[in-house]
Structures are given as C-alpha cells and as structure tokens.
C-alpha cells in the first residue's frame, strides 16, 4: 500500500500526535495505558536515550542486511508486532496490522483480547503467533490453543506478567462495558469531537463491539472484553508446571513474554520454551519495574545461548532497535509505536511506522560500520555505568 505524501509521518512521535488528534480521548487514553505513577512506562523509553553511539566517518558498508528469523519465521527486519488487546482504534483493527506487517515482511503477535478472529488475521499474515493469557484454567486454555493451531498459528506467545494494578495518577479512561444504545449516546459527544474516527466506524454500520472473539469457539462473537477480564482476574495464576504443560501441549515455537529476571529466564528454559521476551508489559504491569532494556544484558548472558531472547518496551526508533540488538536481543517487539500508526492512518500508518524503524536501523548500521544486524555487538553501544539491572541473580549459584 502506498500512502499519499502529505499523510506520511517521519517519526513515531508525530504518529502519536496524530493519533491523539484523531482518537476519542478514552480510546487514546487506553493506548497510553501505564500504571500507577508511570515510572516504568517512561523508563522504558528514557533508558534508550541513555545509551550512546560512536559512529565511524569513513568506510561504511555499502549494503546493510536486516533479515533474521524469530520462532522459525523469516522476517525482513528485527521488529515484530507485539500483541495488544486494543479495541476500537480502527474498524479493520488487527487485520490492518497483519496486512501491514505482511507487506513489510514481518511477523505479528495476536492478542487473546484482539477484536478480530484469528482466522481472519492469519489470512492476512500467516506469520502469526497467537498470544494467550492464563485465563480460565487448563481446559479452557487448551481449547483456545487448539483453535489457534487449526487456524494455522506459527507459534504461541504466553503472557503472564500481569498483576491487575489499575490506578493511574493521570486517571484511567472510562471504557464502557459494552456498546449498547445507552453507551453510544453517552459517548456521542466524545465521538463527535473526532469526526474522522466516527466516520470510519459509521461506514461499517457497526460501532466497536468490545468483544473478544478469540476467547470463544470459532465463529462465535466471544464474550464482552470486561467479562473476559473478570474471569482472568478470578483465575489462579499459573505455576511453572502449567507453563511446561502448555509448552508440551502446543509442541511448536513457544515464547514466554514478560520475563525481567534472570532466575525466571532460567526457569523458562527449564520449562522448555523456545523464546522469551524481556519485557514489563510496556509499563502496564507493576510500576517501578526497571526498563526492559536495562534487564536485557544479564538475561542474554544467562540464557542467550539456549533460547531466542527478544525485548519489548519503549521502542520508538530504529536506533532503539539497534541498541537492543547490540545488547543481545535477537529482535524486538513493538506495541504503542504501531498502535499510533494504526490510529493515524490505518494499515498505511502501520507500514509507515515499520518503514521509519527500517530507515533508522539502516542509518545506525551505516554509522556504526556494520553490514548486518548479526554483526552488532555490545561494543557498538556506549553503556553508562550503572545502566543495567541484573534482576534475580543468585550470587550463591553459578
């Protein structure tokens, strides 16, 4: 898909500004997310600013290679779409994101709380990893995973870093239980202040339905978002045996997302996972958790030769991707960056964001004199003293 020149945005920050203008306040607020004081959500981004580069001036490589693989899928740049359970941003939702990712040659994680059925999303991009939360116990989870397998999912992402922390110092958006006539009327003034967003939905002749179709059997509408959320809150959290059970049941490529400690990374390896993402859920879980990039080096040291180590949290530029890869990540996953793009310009906006990241990776490789993302090393990054955090390292054990 090509985008008219006047719609092109040159940075993720501009996409965010545009998303803010286009989305109703409550929908924009849901994308900002974060918890408590927002310490982690800002550290995720700010920490990348503490890392430096020392570029060469002559002798750069004429061509730079970015292709790699993640969980068996070939991707054209080390950036994967992270799963986000966001509703109402765009009528095409995850299908638009999947098309954009496919057009730019990369893979996508699809949230259990997504607004589109997995079968439709896979039709747009077969490089799809289905994300599950520990919700409803083993039988219910097995049924969801089997549906994903039948649909052709290339891998599973299991996200367990969620502690149901809700308060935000800047206030949480008021998200309705469901979109009945009463809520539509209540939200009408908010919608009318965002005519472009309203028109997109008006054209579909359906308001956002706030249901989660992948929490039910194929072909069913699925429960309302908050119903599923309540059930999740009531489900006892998984044990490491549960993770090993699910890994065994799935049998294919399997990522545990949200690892921030070295001891957990080792347990994940013991449970048989093929990949982990060093992550704090984009700062939406326990506030005061350090930035994911600070925790990455120690985890790479501990398990980097046994599983694929990815990172997500705070990626806004191609240079951030290069910093993460130099510090040992195989690839990164992005959340808000593509959500801003989706809100701003739909599929073309997500492609725009991926193009920004690709351009930034290319510039950084050129400056650093590296012909490939595979040649990056920690020496390519200036890491200030005290930057990293080795969490969960037992000094008494080797």
Ligand X SMILES: Cc1cc2nc3c(=O)[nH]c(=O)nc-3n(C[C@H](O)[C@H](O)[C@H](O)COP(=O)(O)O)c2cc1C
- With H, G, I as helix, E, B as strand and everything else as coil, classify residue 381: coil
Alpha helices in 104-237 (DSSP H): 118-124, 137-151, 181-192, 195-204, 225-233
Q: Is 168 in the site for ligand X (CB under 6 A)?
A: no
Helix 262-270 and helix 240-250, axial crossing angle in degrees, nearest 10: 50
Q: Which is nearer to ligand X, 86 or 118 (CB)?
A: 86
The residues with which 372 forms a beta bridge, in sequence order, are 65
Active-site pick, 56, 90, 166, 281: 281
Q: Is 83 in the site for ligand X (CB under 6 A)?
A: yes
Q: Which is nearer to ligand X, 111 or 125 (CB)?
A: 111
* Residue 291 contacts residue 47 (beta carbons within 8 Å): yes
- Confirm whether 281 is a catalytic residue: yes
* Residue 312 known to bind ligand: yes
CA distances to 110, 171, 214, 255, 257 from 141, in Å: 15, 33, 11, 16, 17
Task: Kindly state the tokens that stand for 271.
Answer: 């449970």
Q: Is 95 in the site for ligand X (CB under 6 A)?
A: no
Element (H, E) at 172: none
- Indicate which single residue of 271, 315, 364, 381 sits in contact with ligand X (rule: CB under 6 A): 315
The C-alpha atoms of residue 97 and residue 134 are separated, in whole angstroms, by 24
* Residue 313 known to bind ligand: yes
- DSSP assignment of 270-288: HTT-SEEEE--GGGTSSTT
**Shortest distance in whole angstroms from residue 97 CB to ligand X:** 12
Q: Which of 301, 324, 322 is nearest to 312 (CA)?
A: 324
* Residue 224 known to bind ligand: no
Q: Which of 165, 199, 155 is nearest to 308 (CA)?
A: 155
Q: Is 313 in the site for ligand X (CB under 6 A)?
A: yes
The C-alpha atoms of residue 250 and residue 298 are separated, in whole angstroms, by 28
**Shortest distance in whole angstroms from residue 54 CB to ligand X:** 26
- DSSP assignment of 290-333: PPHHHHHHHHHHHHTTTSEEEEES---SHHHHHHHHHTT-SEEE
The C-alpha atoms of residue 199 and residue 107 are separated, in whole angstroms, by 30
Binding mask 274-293 for ligand X (x = CB under 6 A): -----x-xx-x---------
Q: Which is nearer to ligand X, 352 or 370 (CB)?
A: 352
**Shortest distance in whole angstroms from residue 137 CB to ligand X:** 19
- Indicate which single residue of 312, 345, 351, 355 sits in contact with ligand X (rule: CB under 6 A): 312
Q: Which of 190, 163, 194, 159 is nearest to 176 (CA)?
A: 190
Binding mask 178-217 for ligand X (x = CB under 6 A): ----------------------------------------
**Shortest distance in whole angstroms from residue 27 CB to ligand X:** 10
Binding mask 248-267 for ligand X (x = CB under 6 A): ---------x----------
The C-alpha atoms of residue 275 and residue 310 are separated, in whole angstroms, by 7
Residue whose token pair is 């803010």: 20
DSSP helix, strand, coil percent of the chain (3-state; round to 5): 45, 15, 40
* Residue 131 known to bind ligand: yes
Stretch that binds ligand X, among 30-38, 135-143, 187-195, 221-229 (CB under 6 A): 30-38
- Indicate which single residue of 335, 349, 360, 392 sits in contact with ligand X (rule: CB under 6 A): 335
* Residue 168 known to bind ligand: yes
Q: Is 64 in the site for ligand X (CB under 6 A)?
A: no
Q: Is 159 in the site for ligand X (CB under 6 A)?
A: yes
- Indicate which single residue of 40, 44, 115, 289 sits in contact with ligand X (rule: CB under 6 A): 44
Task: Kindly state the tokens that stand for 261.
Answer: 């400690």
Q: Which single residue brings its beta carbon nearest to ligand X?
A: 335
- Indicate which single residue of 73, 82, 115, 214 sits in contact with ligand X (rule: CB under 6 A): 82
- With H, G, I as helix, E, B as strand and everything else as coil, classify residue 150: helix
Q: Dihedrals φ, ψ of 48, to 5°?
A: -60, -30
Q: How many residues bind ligand X (CB under 6 A)?
A: 26
**Shortest distance in whole angstroms from residue 57 CB to ligand X:** 32
- Indicate which single residue of 22, 336, 358, 370 sits in contact with ligand X (rule: CB under 6 A): 336
Q: Is 90 in the site for ligand X (CB under 6 A)?
A: no
Question: Which residues line the annotated binding site for FMN?
Answer: 83-85, 111, 131, 159, 257, 279, 312-316, 335-336
Residues that bind ligand X (CB under 6 A): 30-31, 33, 44, 82-86, 111, 113, 131, 159, 257, 279, 281-282, 284, 312-315, 334-337
Catalytic residue numbers?
A: 281
């Amino acid at each position: 898909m090509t985008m008219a020149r006047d719609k092109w945005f040159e940075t993720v920050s501009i996409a965010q500004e545009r998303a803010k203008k286009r989305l109703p306040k409550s929908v924009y607020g849901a994308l900002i997310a974060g918890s408590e004081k927002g310490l982690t959500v800002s550290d995720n981004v700010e920490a990348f600013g503490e890392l430096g580069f020392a570029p060469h001036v002559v002798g750069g490589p004429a061509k730079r290679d970015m292709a790699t693989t993640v969980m068996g899928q070939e991707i054209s740049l080390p950036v994967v779409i992270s799963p986000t359970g966001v509703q109402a941003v765009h009528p095409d939702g995850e299908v638009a994101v999947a098309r954009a990712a496919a057009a730019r040659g990369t893979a996508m994680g699809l949230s259990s709380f997504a607004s589109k059925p997995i079968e439709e999303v896979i039709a747009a991009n077969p490089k799809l990893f289905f994300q599950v939360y520990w919700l409803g116990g083993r039988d219910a989870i097995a049924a969801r995973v089997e549906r994903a397998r039948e649909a052709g999912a290339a891998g599973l992402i299991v996200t367990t870093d969620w502690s149901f922390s809700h308060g935000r110092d800047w206030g949480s958006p008021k998200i309705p239980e469901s979109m009945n006539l009463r809520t539509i009327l209540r939200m009408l003034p908010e919608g009318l202040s965002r005519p472009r967003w309203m028109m997109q939905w008006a054209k579909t002749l359906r308001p956002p339905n706030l249901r989660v179709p992948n929490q039910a059997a194929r072909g069913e509408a699925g429960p309302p978002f908050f119903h599923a959320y309540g059930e999740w809150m009531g489900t006892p959290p998984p044990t490491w045996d549960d993770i090993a059970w699910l890994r065994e049941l799935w049998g294919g490529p399997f990522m545990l997302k949200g690892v921030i400690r070295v001891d957990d990374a080792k347990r994940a390896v013991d449970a048989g996972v093929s990949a982990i993402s060093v992550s704090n859920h984009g700062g939406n879980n326990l506030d005061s958790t350090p930035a994911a990039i600070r925790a990455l080096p120690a985890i790479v040291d501990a398990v980097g030769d046994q599983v694929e180590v990815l990172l997500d949290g705070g990626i806004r530029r191609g240079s951030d991707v290069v910093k993460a890869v130099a510090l040992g990540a195989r690839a990164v996953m992005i959340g808000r960056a593509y959500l801003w793009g989706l809100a701003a310009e739909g599929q073309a906006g997500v492609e725009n964001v991926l193009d920004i990241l690709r351009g930034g990776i290319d510039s950084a490789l050129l400056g650093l004199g590296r012909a490939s993302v595979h040649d990056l090393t920690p020496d390519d990054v200036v890491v200030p003293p005290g930057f990293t955090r080795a969490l969960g390292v037992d000094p008494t054990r080797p």
